Amino acid sequence: MKKKSLSAKKKIPKLIIKYLNNKEFLRIFNEFKKSLNSKNKYAVAVSGGPDSLALAYLSKCFSIIYNARIYYYIVDHGLRQESSKEAKKVVSILKKFMINCKILVWKGNKPKSNIQSIARNNRYSLLIKECKKNNIKYILLGHHADDQYENFLLRLLRGSGLRGLVSMDKVSKDSLQNIQFLRPLINIEKYKLKNISQKVFDFFVEDPSNYDENFKRIRIRRLIKNLESEGLDKKKLELTIKNLKDSDQTINFYVKNNIDKNAIFLSNNNTYVLNKIFFNQPNEIIFRSFTYIMRKISSRYYSARGKSISEIISKIKFKKLKKVTLGGCIIEQINETILISREIT
């Protein structure tokens, strides 16, 4: 849809649009809108933090100027006593700016360990479920440049492979769920987004976990500042990540080629048949191909643990695999052929 003419500017709520008179805010908005298409419907993941509120503001501007359909959701994890109150406060603040935000409540038992990771997984699951109800195929996330650097070092310390190191990209496609995660602010530094939230809303939620060094991500955040003083600045980190992403795209090409040529999908019984050439590839190609197929068969958003998948692949290569279940799949070796089907529960 064409951009509204300046003559229609009077119809645009001044309270919302006026902040784009700020040259820096307008520059960020122009960068932001490159990732969007007004013909699509979008869901915005709101948390109440300064980056997500900046995302909410910029997407609202986009919806006004380009008449786009955008939905807003905030997840109440219930991990802290104040979480429900904070979610309602965020909804109230956004409503003043004609942003209608729906609260999604995470029900069930709460974890006592690995809290941030489990909370993130549940947040995405709730968002995807809501998007499917409204036929939304694009979710906007507020990840910024600082998040990308933190994620890279966090994965590096965990010994992640190439795919894990570059997992935070501007566009992440989940073909199994038919969802795309868009990070239109991935090249914008956090302090600039904080300026937007402060100026527009004069409000944002300060998560106390951001200062809790029991969380590794917070220790990584401090490590980055120390590394800068040693010469490893953010520009060098950005270049390293870019180079690795180029390599990752090359591997993905060969993964697709391996699946297309050496695997057959039997839609009648939801089963993949893998021939022996499937496993005559470099280890990373085999691992990614096998993981993709398992996710497709199980229809699960997250795959089984990498270590468990690697162990099965190793047994297949040495023809020592018995019929096993993993990640919602039944994996069976018959001579030199592998069958992967859905586990019936």
Alpha helices in 230-282 (DSSP H): 234-262
**What letter would DSSP give residue 281?**
S
> Above 70 in pLDDT, residue 9?
no
What is the CB neighbour count within 10 angstroms for residue 87? 23
How far lies 316's CA from each of 100, 257, 309, in Å?
52, 20, 11
pLDDT level of residue 324 (50, 70, 90 thresholds): very high
* pLDDT tens, position by position, 129-144: 999 999 999 999 999 9
Numbered ranges of CATH 3.40.50.620 in the chain: 6-232
Rounded Cα gap, residues 318 and 213, in angstroms: 44
| CATH-assigned architecture of domain 6-232 | 3-Layer(aba) Sandwich (3.40)
> Above 90 in pLDDT, residue 57?
yes
If DSSP codes are grouped into helix, strand and coil, which group holds residue 40?
Answer: coil
Q: Which two tokens stand for residue 201?
A: 């809303």
The model's pTM is 0.75
Label the pairing between strands 179-182 and 138-140: parallel
How far lies 149's CA from each of 41, 54, 222, in Å?
29, 20, 12
User: Is residue 142 within 8 Å of residue 126, measured between CB atoms?
Assistant: no
pLDDT level of residue 5 (50, 70, 90 thresholds): very low
- pLDDT at residue 239 in the model: 86
Q: Which two tokens stand for residue 210?
A: 């951001």
> How would you label 317-343 residue by residue, b for 16+ Cβ within 10 Å and e otherwise?
eeeebeeeebbbbbbbbeeeebbbbbe
* Nearest residue to 141 via CA among 92, 180, 96: 180
Q: Which two tokens stand for residue 281?
A: 């590839």
